[in-house]
Structure 1
Amino acid sequence: MEWDTVTLEIDEDVATLTIDRPERLNTLTVDALEAVAEALDAAAAAEVRALVLTGAGEDAFIAGADVSYMTDLTTPEAQAYAELGHRVVDAIETFPAPAIAAINGYAFGGGCEFALACDLRVAAEGAVLGQTEIDIGLVPGWGGTQRLSRLVGDETARRLVFFGERLDASEAAAIGLVGEVVPDAELDDHVARMAAELAAKPAFALRGAKEALNAVHDGSQTVGLDYEKRLWSGLFGTHDQREGMAAFLEKREPAFE
């Protein structure tokens, strides 16, 4: 299968899924999200033993959802967008093999949430991460309010979400948001070696281990994720959402109420 917005390469037992919109910093449109979902299904059908998720180009892993698409959404349209984003991120989290995020640049908003859904996160030295939705009048809408605190702790997650902080790779590693930082030029090779090592492990045991590790959070997280979707979409149509996105697109400071 081929898509305009993503590429999927399968080399022996390793699948590499690349968001391929470098001219737009790999931001996620509806088409891109649907393509990612199809690519994940194709990789699962191929019974790969490891998945690598990354972004095309040198500037961005995934710089977030597409603000130019979101700016005029109604609440029902925003709910549908949230549902789609959650479906894709959940598919990453439950993919039947370990998933590694190779974070090669900006990972903001939905991009950070894609990384959170992976089992392992490796950042290039030049990467920058953050749940930056507050600056456009929103909250994380694809799982960030629930998954972030699992990695970094409750107060740190609150600070990141409330202030929309942007962290460089070393800062992200220091709080546990990423597990490892490597030089920019070494990211692809380093992650490829990790994926190959995982692919050589016993597949059924790895899958079972992943399911067991995920099950620790399933009970309360399900309720929290449902609430997050309703909260995120309910903010569409507010003054701050309209103003925040307009200011973002016009490259100016927002005037929130």
Structure 2
Amino acid sequence: MNYEFLRCDIENKVATVTISHSPGNKLNTQVYQEITQIMGELEANEHVNAIVITGEGEEAFVAGADINELADLDTVGMMDLTQITRTSYSKIENLNKPVIASINGEARGGGLELALSCDLRIASEYAQFAFPEINLGVIPGGGGTQRIQKVVGQGTAKELLYFGETIDAERAYQLQIVNKVVDQNELSSTAKEWARKLAQKAPVALRMMKLAVNTGANVDLESALTIEATSYDGSFATQDRKEGIAARLENRKPNFKGR
């Protein structure tokens, strides 16, 4: 597929997907559809073990939704867009490979929802975060009300959602919205280094790990432990498990094959 608003570079088993939609890398129907499509392609690509998502430039990761598109939608059109949005974020969240958000600027509304659907989030010192939807007379429609409370707790989530105010990168780090804050000029290299480290891990084990964490978070403890045990058994049956143990016994670096 040819992408109008995305660029993708693959190196050392790491795919870097850059959203390029000026101004602000804002999200519209086509951007969402392209994200869903490229995630599917990267999921099936045996030469990709980890993915970084970022925005073009230094001003915005994703500054939010394309208001011009929203202004022209009727109720049915909005329902269709909401489903497209949900599909895109769920694809990232449930992808069988780790996804890192490299947040280089504003992450507002849909941009923050996009970041929250990723496994890990690294932010520039200049990054800003907000759910400003309340100021437009609506609420987040791409999972923001649900994913944010799982990260920061319900009380803080309500504060962010109800007031719609902007927080800086340091505050986002304190609330565990982001895993790390770095200098702007170190952001890309840091995100790619994290991705390279993940790309060297056992792919099936990472897949099972993500499945156990994501699925277990939505069920009771006993059910979650069953999911973990099943995922563990799945990873134990792989050739990678044998290679990992052999490498440890031989005091060498493992060479995982994803099998």
- Give the alignment's TM-score, normalised by structure 2: 0.82
More contact order relative to length (CA 8 Å, sep ≥ 6): 1
After TM superposition, give the deviation of residue 217 of structure 1 in Å. Answer: 3.1
Question: What do you get for the CA RMSD once the two structures are aligned?
Answer: 1.2
Matches of 1:76 and 1:87 in 2, distance apart? Answer: 17
After TM superposition, give the deviation of residue 76 of structure 1 in Å. Answer: 1.0
2:34 paired residue number: 35
After TM superposition, give the deviation of residue 219 of structure 1 in Å. Answer: 5.1
Deviations for 1:103-125, whole angstroms, at most 9, x for unmatched residues?
Answer: 00000000000000001000000
- SS of residue in 2 equivalent to 1:198: helix
Q: Which deviates more, 1-10 or 165-174? A: 1-10
2:257 paired residue number: none
Give the residue type in structure 2 aligned to 1:28.
L
After TM superposition, give the deviation of residue 95 of structure 1 in Å. Answer: 1.0
Matches within 5 A, 1:1-257: 1-21=1-21, 23-47=22-46, 48-218=48-218
Deviations for 1:182-207, whole angstroms, at most 9, x for unmatched residues?
Answer: 00000000111100000000000000
Give the residue type in structure 1 aligned to 2:6.
V
- SS of residue in 2 equivalent to 1:24: coil
Matches of 1:138 and 1:103 in 2, distance apart? Answer: 25
Matches of 1:67 and 1:100 in 2, distance apart? Answer: 26
**Count of residue correspondences:** 219
Give the residue type in structure 1 aligned to 2:132.
T
Deviations for 1:1-28, whole angstroms, at most 9, x for unmatched residues?
Answer: 431111121213111111111x220001
- SS of residue in 1 equivalent to 2:142: coil
Which structure has the greater CA radius of gyration? Answer: 2
Q: Which deviates more, 110-119 or 70-79? A: 70-79
After TM superposition, give the deviation of residue 146 of structure 1 in Å. Answer: 0.6
Structure 2 portions without partners, runs of 5+ = 221-259
Q: Percent identity?
A: 39
Give the residue type in structure 2 aligned to 1:195.
A
Deviations for 1:32-83, whole angstroms, at most 9, x for unmatched residues?
Answer: 1111111111111113211101101111000111111001311111010000
- SS of residue in 1 equivalent to 2:193: helix
Give the residue type in structure 2 aligned to 1:57.
G
- Give the alignment's TM-score, normalised by structure 1: 0.83
After TM superposition, give the deviation of residue 127 of structure 1 in Å. Answer: 0.3
Matches of 1:129 and 1:29 in 2, distance apart? Answer: 19
Give the residue type in structure 1 aligned to 2:35.
V
- SS of residue in 1 equivalent to 2:96: coil
Give the residue type in structure 1 aligned to 2:25.
N
Matches of 1:165 and 1:206 in 2, distance apart? Answer: 36
Matches of 2:18 and 2:138 in 1, distance apart? Answer: 26
Q: Which deviates more, 7-16 or 102-111? A: 7-16
